[in-house]
Structures are given as C-alpha cells and as structure tokens.
Chain A
Amino acid sequence: MSTVDTAELERQERLRRHESDAPSSPVMRFGPDQPLRLDGGSSIAPWQIAYQTYGTLNEARTNAILICHALTGDQHVANDHPVTGKPGWWTTMVGPGRPIDTDRFYVICANVLGGCMGTTGPASTNPQTGRAFGLDFPVVTIRDMVRAQAMLVSALGIDTLFSVVGGSMGGMQVLQWAADYPARVFSAIAIATSHRHSSQNIAFHEVGRQAVMADPDWRSGRYMEDGVNPKKGLAVARMAAHITYMSDASLHAKFGRNLQDRERLTFGFDADFQIESYLRHQGMSFVDRFDANSYLYVTRAMDYFDLAADHGGVLAQVFRGSKTRFCVVSFTSDWLFPTSESRAVVHALNAAGASVSFVEIDTDRGHDSFLLDIPEQYRIVRGFLTGAARQRGIPGPASAVAGE
C-alpha cells in the first residue's frame, strides 16, 4: 500500500468528521418543534439534513428531481467531493445536457438519515451530551430516510417531485417514496434494486458489521472520543462488500490472475495478486471518507427493508391506484440485486395497474453498473424522462449527447 499517502488520508478523516456536523453543502435544520418520527418508535429532535441542489426550480415548481444515493454515496452527486476532492459519484448521469439535465431540471440530493456527511446520524454530535451519538443513535429504516427527505422537499417549497431516481439502496428509497407519497411522485426510476433485502444480502452486511465490531478500535462505537478509528474492520467490510458489487466476469477481465508489481509468487501473504492490491486500496481509501458506525446503521436500514411487509405481504397492494410512471432497470450480471427482484417489482406494478417500463441491460460489470459509464442506461433514463416531461408539460432533457 505504498501508494497511499497516510498524511493525506488523516487530513481527509479530519475533514469528514467536520462534515458530519457542519457540512460544506447546504443544510436544513429542524428544531424541537419538528421532530423526525422513526419506525423504531422514537423520534429525533432537533435534527438536520444536508443536501445539494443543481439547476433552477421553475416558477410552477414542477421540475424538481430528487436523487437518492446508495449505501456509501452522499449528496455530492455532480460536484467535487469536499473530503476526497474527487468528482461527484454520478457526473455522467447528472449535469448540463446529461440525461438528468441540470439545464432543465432542479436536481436535489440529500445525505441519508444515519449518514455521515451532514445529515443527523451516529457521527453527529448529540446535543444532550455534547459528544457523538455513536450507538445511542436510534436504528433507522429506509422509510425513515424517505420521511426525512419528504420534510426537506416540503421545506424547499416543493409539493410534487417530477421524478425520484436512485440505484441500489437509492432505488429502495425510490420505491418507498412511491409507496408512501404517491401523490408527490410524478415519475420514479428505480435501478438495480429490490422491494426487499434478500437473505444473501443481509448475510453479506452482517459480515461487514462483524468485521467493524471485531476491530479493537471500534470500542463499542465510542472510538471518536478515544481518538481512534476502527479502520481495519471497516476496510475489511468494504473489501467484502466491494466484491459483491462486481461480477466474476468483470473481475476476471480486469485482473485475471495477474501479479502485482512482481514476477513470481512470493510464498507469503503480501498482495501477490492485482485483485488483492485493488481490494486493499478500495478498503483503505474508504475508511477516511466514511464513518464506521454510519456503515452499521445504513446497512441495517437496508436489511430491514421489505416494502410488502408493511402492506400485508402483498407487494401489488403497495402500489394500488398509483398514478406514478415507473421505470425499472436491472443488469444481467448483477447478482446482488438480480433481475428476478426487479421483475417482482414490475409484476407487482402491473398487477396494481401502474404505468411501468422495464429494461434489463446486458453488461458483465455487476451491481456497480448503475454507477458506471453504460450508454444504454443513459438512453433509457433520457428517453423515459423525455416521455414523462411531455406528460408533465415541462421541457425534457436535451437530446442525446455524442456517444450516447
């Protein structure tokens, strides 16, 4: 890991800890009179939600698109990240002339509840104790995240969103939005997602959480006060998770059995193989931009997600009477959120008589495809939003850019 600059990473960690209370992005604060009610039975107050916006809200307030980020994403969709300095996580999808065209739409993205980039979460300072919440923070759900977003959207003066868009955990939020606030969601794009977290996915998350909690520096979640960080545990969690975001074929194509900076096997436990080195790098670069406790909470929220469970176990019941126009997208090589799960959502939407488009995109790049440069995905999102905008009576995205 000689390529990792430890001083730079420590600087990033300090920045990130600062972001969790005082984000560099806009933040909406809700006082004691506006508590956030939680599925677990408790509520939080005061609380805050950090967000980014791009583009301009039209006079009729009908062109707002909410983007929901995935597990380790944040509100910095299309701007340089304040901690890592890297470009936003969806700059190929969101921006001027892009399918989610910021010249035409007012785009909002908020850090999720339980996150660590400025929305209230375990890394935030508990006003009652003056120290980080840690495990005193209540366990939250996808629905709680969406409830928080709905309060933000209202506070921004927007009643109905033109579209809600997200992949993976973001897609769960999209479906939850459509279920809980059908009248406020004109259209919805759910990518590489499911109506419930599968047993296999819960299992992977549990491995990640156990890795964090097994790190002696975790200290029952009180690491911040002790000035330490369970980096090793979180890095292992990230390494394991990262494998699930790719596919056997893409790993083989990218790394094969290639050796890392060496001619032959060392007969030791260094990173002999490129894939090992790659994963170690993924793990190390993650821990300084993400809070370990946040990782526990947000993975837990995904595990608890089961849309039909709140509606008598019948998924179609969730969407009964929905006027929302849905677009569901899956990827052939995604084994974390396989096409069969998207199909179950589509079948439920059909059974409910909802308007739905569904495409399975052929790619070998696994679950992470939704974040990658896949022209087919842009064409679908652009086309779907064009049709929806026509129905809504607002200008659609610019026509396709070169190469799309």
Chain B
Amino acid sequence: MVVPTLPSADVRVDFKLIADLVAPGSRVLDIGCENGALLELLEQTRGVDARGLEISPAGVRNCVARGLAVIQGDADSDLDQYPDQAFDYVILSQTIQATRNPRHVLENLLRIGRKAIVSFPNFGHYDVRIRLLLGGRMPVSSRLPYSWYDTPNIHFCTIRDFVSLADEVGATVEKAIALDVNGVKLPFNAPWWVWNLIGAQGLFLLSKS
C-alpha cells in the first residue's frame, strides 16, 4: 500500500530498525512492501527468504523486476489465504492505518507469522494534538500530507491505542520502539504516555503464544 506518510523508502531510517528485529536466514513476509526497498535490505543484510504483498501494480512490477517474490494484493482481502505460521516474521510497515479492518489484519499477522512487526504513525504525537487542539482542524503536515476527505489513512491510532489492541487480540509485546519525526529511535526508555506524546512513530515486535 503506497502511503507516503514518511520520506521516500530508500532513505527510511526505520527500515534499519526493522531489519535489526529480524533474525538472519528467516522467512519474512512484508505486507505493503511498496517498491521492495525493505525486502531488498533484508535479503542483502539478513539473508532472509523475502516475500511481499503490494497493492499498487507499479510497486509489484518494480519488486518483480528486482527479482523479489511479490504478489499483487492487499492486507484486507489476501491474508486469509496464507497458512498458519508460514513465516518467521510478518511485517506491516506504515500500513495498518490504511486497512479497512485493522484488528482482523493484526490477527492474521499473528496467525501467519511466528512474530509480527508493525510500525505506524502515532496520532497521539504532540504535533498532531496541537494542530487539532489549537488549529481545530484535522492535522495536515509533511508527514501526514492528506486532507481528511482524500486520505488513505482511514484508521489512525495512537501508540496507546495500538498497545490496547495488541492486548485485546492476545499478543505479547516483545519489543516496542518509539521513533522521532526523522524516524530515529528515541534513545531512552519512558512510560507509554511519554512515548505516546513525543513518538512520531511506533514500532512493535509482537508474538502470540
């Protein structure tokens, strides 16, 4: 799913953080893999068996032309087809907020993969809050460039919202990282409410026992 809430894929710092969560030589499915930049990074640096799912024909074409195994499809309708525990990791990067049924998607991630890696823009970030509180309008910024009426991001959530959804579907948070507006990891630990305020993105490693 092409959701340009962040700088272009090739310079995305958060990809390196995601790659660090992935064990070498594992089987990985990247949902919403765009032009395959993360898959290629994982293939090259972690030696993984990389697969992708991408909704835009241009994205799929680029991926296949790069030699990646990617199919055209979307997170809402095509995940049911995958068998249980087919992958070591299922990655959903910057996409969950654009799905029709985020809960079902998250459940599918945890079913298909032994672990799920999910990142998303945090709607609880102070910048968003200020724009809404003081501006009185839905926030539009360089990171969230869409107006309310044409945004693909139909299910925004905050870091705390996501944590409670993870809890609801029975997932264990193995690792949680908050990133700043540049996609750089916040270099300290803090209670959820702090991260929820100053984190521009949440990045989670989840599993289901």
- A-side interface residues toward B, CB under 8 Å? 325, 327-328, 343, 346-347, 350-353, 355-362, 376, 379-380, 382-384, 386-388, 390
Residues of B contacting A352 with CB < 8 Å? 83
Whole-angstrom distance between the Cβ of B29 and the nearest chain A Cβ = 9
B61 interfacial contact with A, CB 8 Å: yes
Whole-angstrom distance between the Cβ of A167 and the nearest chain B Cβ = 17
Whole-angstrom distance between the Cβ of A382 and the nearest chain B Cβ = 7
Q: How far is the CA of A383 from the CA of B65 in the complex (A)?
A: 3
Instruction: Determine if A360 and B57 form an interchain contact, defined as CB atoms under 8 angstroms apart.
Output: yes
B72 interfacial contact with A, CB 8 Å: yes
B82 interfacial contact with A, CB 8 Å: yes
Residue of B69, B82, B83 contacting most chain A CB atoms (<10 Å)? B69
Tell me the dominant secondary structure on chain B's binding face: mixed
Residues of A contacting B72 with CB < 8 Å? 358-360
Q: How far is the CA of A171 from the CA of B120 in the complex (A)?
A: 40
Instruction: Determine if B66 and A383 form an interchain contact, defined as CB atoms under 8 angstroms apart.
Output: yes
Q: How far is the CA of A278 from the CA of B101 in the complex (A)?
A: 50
- B-side interface residues toward A, CB under 8 Å? 49, 51, 57, 60-61, 63-73, 78, 81-83, 86
Residues of B contacting A347 with CB < 8 Å? 78, 81
Q: How far is the CA of A356 from the CA of B63 in the complex (A)?
A: 12
Residues of A contacting B81 with CB < 8 Å? 347, 350-351
Q: How far is the CA of A44 from the CA of B1 in the complex (A)?
A: 53
Q: How far is the CA of A351 from the CA of B71 in the complex (A)?
A: 13
* Given A350-B81, A353-B83, A358-B60: A379 and B71 interface contact (C-beta under 8 Å): no
Whole-angstrom distance between the Cβ of B105 and the nearest chain A Cβ = 16
Residue of A325, A356, A379, A383 contacting most chain B CB atoms (<10 Å)? A383
Whole-angstrom distance between the Cβ of B81 and the nearest chain A Cβ = 4
Q: How far is the CA of A361 from the CA of B61 in the complex (A)?
A: 9
B49 (CB) vs chain A CBs: closest residue:
A355
Whole-angstrom distance between the Cβ of B71 and the nearest chain A Cβ = 4
Instruction: Determine if A355 and B69 form an interchain contact, defined as CB atoms under 8 angstroms apart.
Output: yes
Residues of A contacting B70 with CB < 8 Å? 357-358
* Given A347-B81, A355-B51: A380 and B61 interface contact (C-beta under 8 Å): yes
